[in-house]
Amino acid sequence: MDRALNYMGLARKAGLIELGEEPVGAVARARKARLVVVAQDATDHTWRRAKSFVAGSEQICLKIPYTKDQLGQAVGRTELALAAFTDPALALAFLQALNQPDRYKTELESLEKLSARIRQRKKEADAHKRNKKMGK
């Protein structure tokens, strides 16, 4: 199994990915999906549904070069057509592991910006906690 699929398994174990049409739809409607991925052999209906889930938002939806069987195997299922990463850093790592920077250039840039923004917010929150403890 390659690195990208390993990231899917890691995301599943960490609870940072939703699997299947209903959970992906719910997380996308809540605007919590960072990257929605669709298997290359998924039906046109599944592809249209995935795109409709993220329509009008900054969430990313991509058809990726893996079959439903390959995606399913990565997350411990028989097959999987649709998944949504909810963590931007893991979504970015997955996309980078696909090793197609020209094909996914805008998506990579978008996830890099989002990840950087979240890291900065965390750093500021940590600094705020430290200052609060010191009585500043």
Identify the structural domains of the chain with CATH numbers, from first to last. 3-133 (3.30.1330.30)
Instruction: State how beta strands 60-64 and 35-39 pair.
Output: parallel
d(CA 136, CA 57): 39
Q: What is the pTM of this model?
A: 0.86
| pLDDT bracket for residue 133 (50, 70, 90) | confident
Host H or E run for residue 64:
strand 60-64
Question: DSSP assignment, residue 65?
Answer: S
With a cut of 70, say whether residue 131 has pLDDT above it: yes
d(CA 48, CA 50): 5
Retrieve residue 50's tokens: 């995935």
Name the 3-class secondary structure at 129. Answer: helix
pLDDT of residue 15: 95
